[in-house]
Amino acid sequence: MQNSTKKNLLFALAYAVVLAIGILLGQNYADENQTVGNNSFIPLGLTDKTGKVQKTLQLIQERYVEKVVLDTLQDAAITEMLTRLDPHSSYLAPRQAKAIAENLSGSFDGIGIEYFSVNDTLIVTGMVSDCPAEKAGILRGDKLIWINDSLIAGANRSRQEISDLVRGKRGTTLNVWVSRSGKEIESPIQIKRDKINVSTIDAAYMMQPRTAYIKIKRFGEHTSEEFEAALKALKKNNFDKLILDLRENGGGYFYSALAVADQFFPPDSLLVYTDGANEERTDYYSTPNGLYEKGDLVVLIDENSASSSEIVAGAVQDLHRGVIIGRRSYGKGLVQEQFDFGDGSALNLTVAKYYTPSGRSIQKSYKRGNINYFNELNQRFLSGELTSQSIQQTDSISPDGDVYENGSGKLITISGGIMPDIYVPMDTTGLTPFYHVVQEQDLIRNFIYHRMIDSPPSFAVENFIEDYEIPNTVYRDFIRFVREENVSVSLAESNLSRSIIEGDMKAILGKFFFGNEAWFKVRNHQDPTIMRSLQVLNN
């Protein structure tokens, strides 16, 4: 935490979390004085106006006609106050704060399995490499019957219940009964919980002889080390072209994104700077010895690339280091700092804005309800109602955004985010109402794990990606399956969505039989954005 932030902590809390302080200090005051009466209690450092909120809490606690759970009231009040600020300042309950911390740290204590529920039966669909479950003998396709003394099969337990059963203190033992190949194994499999490390690098492989591909799913605590390790491993293949995939990457740690961007630039290049009302401007520069300062570079973004992803893309674009390809990014240019309350809950408070090297703030407007207007325009743009062909596009560093024709000659301005150098529209041909229903009900994975995982392919992953096709009979069986699940489907929608559904099926099978990276190899094989990137790099 920077010194300036520490100095302004009381200031921030006075305006955003005064109720949290009020409860703590107010309770102490009440305990010591027994009565409140009409006495004013204004904690040190707070103003008369914030003291009114403090006293209100005390009055509710001491005099209200009914008993009130003040913790719940306090949480609701904090949340309501934060709605008056920006869309990214947020209050995190203890469970939320813990989940986010584990997600960004990339580690937790558990056994390392992935699972999916089919007809109230949990099937193991994947495992972290070298995890405790794998070491103990759990296999993909195993069906979980019991975990310790808790029945799993047919019990219709929630994901949170399963997570609570599986995770636990490192070193403790878990007894798991499974069914394998239709036969229940009589003795339990004993698994000792351990630290599970989940990489933030989804895939890193050679896409072509001189072209490497790296997919980062989020910027976590160890992303910079993982990215550096991936670059070093791929350098053995002498690549001089790199596709960095930041699509669907919602951000994460600011410094992890800086460390990744640092690999692409010579020393002393301004990568980003931050500034705020209570935070002095801070400039962040590249350091010496970047591992990929000279090769060709493409960065992929989409509407779900946000925050830290936009820091990397913005630096690459502004400094002309590479080509940005895809769709306009989300538009989150605010920096949050986390303040812990001591009970496990926390406040993520926006303390500054960040700016790209040319001075762009990529934060989309959120004042006076504009964020809802922006989201509406963005959805219309993605759906094709607003065309990607602009009759005028302002300079990329203009704070007013980019101007598009909506098909009737009217100009629409969409501000915020990083507009790619090369726009690749979303192919919405197969995104029929039928496909959306299938996705919402997770029927594709349900079908695959119920019908198609008993016979592993007899060929290598490379042959699977290049040559395997979903048989015609399988798609017909799938249509029958969804109708049995009371989903109506027309012949026209079935035909329109067939290609995208079969692509999903192949990716799920690839991941199940060959591991997580195979999912991305399958998806990338016919991905229009990937194909456009390869054209740019090869030309």
Q: Which residues are catalytic?
A: 307, 332, 336
The half-sphere exposure of 249 on its side-chain side, counting CA atoms within 13 A, is: 31
CA distances (Å), origin 284, targets 182, 331, 437, 489: 58, 20, 46, 54
* Burial per residue of 396-429, b for 16 or more beta-carbon CB atoms within 10 angstroms, e otherwise: beeeebbebbeeeeeebebbbbbbbbebbebeee
d(CA 110, CA 195): 6
Asked if 416 and 363 touch (Cβ cutoff 8 Å), the reply is: yes
Asked if 402 and 362 touch (Cβ cutoff 8 Å), the reply is: no
Asked if 327 and 424 touch (Cβ cutoff 8 Å), the reply is: yes
Beta bridge partners of 242: 212, 297
For residue 326, which amino acid is it? G
Q: Which residue has the tokens 């041909």?
A: 429
CA distances (Å), origin 321, targets 204, 296, 314, 539: 21, 8, 10, 16
Beta bridge partners of 297: 242
* Token duo for residue 197: 């490390």
CB contact set of 147 (below 8 Å; sequence gap of 6+): 162, 165, 166, 174, 175, 176
3-state SS class at 22: helix
Q: Three-class SS string for 278-339?
A: CEEEEEEECCCCCCCCCCEEEEEECCCCCCHHHHHHHHHHHCCCCEEEECCCCCCCEEEEEE
264: nearest Cα among 232, 240, 295, 236:
295
Sign of dihedral through CA atoms 369, 409, 360, 219? positive
Q: How many CB atoms lie within 10 A of CB 94?
A: 12
3-state SS class at 388: coil
